[in-house]
Amino acid sequence: MDLAALEKQLRTLQADAATRISAAASTAELDELGSSLLGKRGAITEILRGIGALPADDRPKIGVVANEVRAAIDASVTARRVALSAGELLERIERERVDATTPGPAPRLGSLHPIPETIAAITEIMSSFGFVVAEGQEIEDDVTNFQLLNIPEDHPSRDLWDTLYLQEPGRLLRTHTSPGQIRTMQAGGPPIRVILPGRCFRYEAVDASHGFEFHQVEGLLVDRGATLADLKGILDELAKGLFGSAARTRFRPGYYPFTEPSVAVDVSWPGSKDGWMTILGAGMVHPVVLENGGIDPETHQGFAFGLGVERIAMLRHGIPDLRAFLENDLRFLAGFR
């Protein structure tokens, strides 16, 4: 084998390869063809095996030719790949096309019940004024639910609370969250800022605005100097937090045996249908109640308030009938997000 023969072989290979490369129908075929020409055991390597028979002077020369041929083949493989892959990409795209506009499977969505969520909303507002949450017991005794709150036995004010009694004498289901005031004061002295949410019970026929089970949030603040003006300030903020910053409050005298003076709070907001809506009762903690809680009314004073959670939730969400809250129709609850 001489230099010329070897060079001819390479040039023939180059010409032949050009034809085959341009005929390759897919990148896979092209890859196979490429490695059969240029790979470790490819055609060029095969031809260059004869190089050992050449004189030492000719070897570099044939090396130059081989590199030329290799580069030429490589270039045409690359060029052909670009051409082929563009088509193949289009083909893949068409092959894989789906209708991506289907609605997609709906996930099951849960939500939190409006009663605990309304409690959470109240808590969130009050916590910004330093009120912390505490929870009490639902089974109470007559003493804490009534007597220590300045509601003596046989007093007509008891008519304000129709009570569910347990068979065990002296025990009852709390009619309000107010006994928490006594328990909070007894558990630790002032300063006190506490929110007491929870379930309450009354002997009450069920209708659109009454139930025998309902929820209240009690608030209590006791320190040295809290005033009725402070009560107004805090509850005005609470009303605005619940019903929007455009809400207006109206404070008027109310009656609760455990506050003196007592306050009823009405709220109205743009779009509220019925003018002033009563949302809560409040007042300065009665000196007798402070004393029953172990606090000297000559050195400390404070205020307390109580909201009906169902009523607040009804007003905020425009719900006409509170029975819906305990009905738990999933279609109704799905409306709360």
Partner 1 sequence: MKIPLSWLREFTDVQLTAEQLADALTLRGLEVRGLERWGANWNKMVIGELLEVAPHPKADRLQLTKVRIGDGPILNIVCGARNIAAGQRIPVALVGAEMPDGRRIERAEKMGIASEGMLCSGQELDATDDGDGILILDASAPLGVPLVDYLGEEVIDVDVKPNRGDLLSILGLAREVGAITGAPVAYAARPLKEGADAVGAGLALRVTDEALAPHVVLRVVDGLKVAASPDRVQMRLKAAGLRSISNVVDATNYIMLELGKPTHAFDRAKVGETVQIRLAKKGESLETLDHEVRSLDATDLVVADERAALALAGVMGGASSEVSPSTTSVIVESAIFAPTSVRRTAQRHSLRSEASHRFERGQERRLAALGADQVAALLTEWAGGVARSGRLVSGAEEAPVTTLNFRPSRVRALLGVSLTDDEQVALLGSIGINADTVADASKIAVTPKRSVSAEKGSARAVRVPSWRSDLEIEADLAEEVARLYGYERIPTTIPSADLPPHRPSPTLLRDRVRRLLADAGVQEVVTHALVSAGHAALWSEPATLVTGPLAASEGSAGGASIVLQNPLSADHDRLRQSLLPSLLDRVDVNLRYGATSGAIFEVGRGYGSTKGGPTEWTRLAIAVWGDREQGAPSAGAAAWNLDELKRLLAQVAHLVGERPGYGASIESAVLHPGINAVITGERVAGVLGELHPASPIWRDEPRILLAEVAIAGLRAGRVAATHVSLPPATPPVTRDIALLIPAATTVGQVVAVARETITRATAVELFDLFDGPPLAPGERSAGLRFTFQPTATGADDEAIAAELAAFEGAVLRACGARVRGVEGQ
Scan residues 258-317 and list those touching partner 1 (CB under 8 A): 260-264, 284, 286-288, 291, 297-298, 301
Q: Is 120 in the site for partner 1 (CB under 8 A)?
A: yes
Largest CA distance in the chain: 131
Q: Is 54 in the site for partner 1 (CB under 8 A)?
A: no
Dihedral (Cα; 16, 19, 23, 28), 10-degree rounding: 50
Q: Residue 252: how many CB atoms within 10 A of its CB?
A: 11
> Mutual orientation of helices 309-317 and 114-127 as an angle, nearest 10°?
100
Closest distance of CB 204 from partner 1, Å: 8
Name the residue nearer to partner 1 (CB basis): 11 or 248.
248
Of 19-27, 68-76, 204-212, 240-248, which segment contacts partner 1 by CB under 8 A? 204-212
HEC-encoded secondary structure of 29-42: HHHHHHHHHHCCCC
Buried b (16+ CB within 10 A) or exposed e, 199-216: ebbbebeeeeeebebbbb
Of 10-18, 85-93, 190-198, 238-246, which segment contacts partner 1 by CB under 8 A? 190-198
Closest distance of CB 300 from partner 1, Å: 10
Q: Is 245 in the site for partner 1 (CB under 8 A)?
A: no
Among residues 22, 36, 327, 335, which is the contact residue for partner 1, using CB under 8 A?
A: 327
Q: Is 319 in the site for partner 1 (CB under 8 A)?
A: no
Total residues contacting partner 1 by CB under 8 A comes to 92
Q: Is 137 in the site for partner 1 (CB under 8 A)?
A: yes
Closest distance of CB 297 from partner 1, Å: 6
Among residues 25, 97, 205, 245, which is the contact residue for partner 1, using CB under 8 A?
A: 205
Name the residue nearer to partner 1 (CB basis): 34 or 197.
197
Q: Is 234 in the site for partner 1 (CB under 8 A)?
A: yes
Q: Is 321 in the site for partner 1 (CB under 8 A)?
A: no
Q: Which residues contact 101 (CB under 8 A, 6 or more apart)?
A: none
Q: How far apart are CA 28 and CA 161, in angstroms?
A: 87
Can you read off the two tokens belonging to residue 289? 């109640």
Name the residue nearer to partner 1 (CB basis): 94 or 99.
99
Q: Is 247 in the site for partner 1 (CB under 8 A)?
A: no
Of 31-39, 43-51, 78-86, 196-204, which segment contacts partner 1 by CB under 8 A? 196-204
Tell which phi-psi region holds residue 108, choosing left (phi > 0), alpha (psi between -120 and 50) or beta: beta
The SS3 call for residue 6 is helix
Q: Is 220 in the site for partner 1 (CB under 8 A)?
A: no
Name the residue nearer to partner 1 (CB basis): 55 or 105.
105
Q: Is 165 in the site for partner 1 (CB under 8 A)?
A: yes
Q: Which of 276, 289, 284 is nearest to 315 (CA)?
A: 276
Among residues 34, 179, 180, 190, which is the contact residue for partner 1, using CB under 8 A?
A: 190
Relative to beta strand 248-253, strand 132-133 is unpaired
Q: Is 57 in the site for partner 1 (CB under 8 A)?
A: no
**Residues 254, 256, 261, 262: is their CA dihedral positive or negative?**
negative
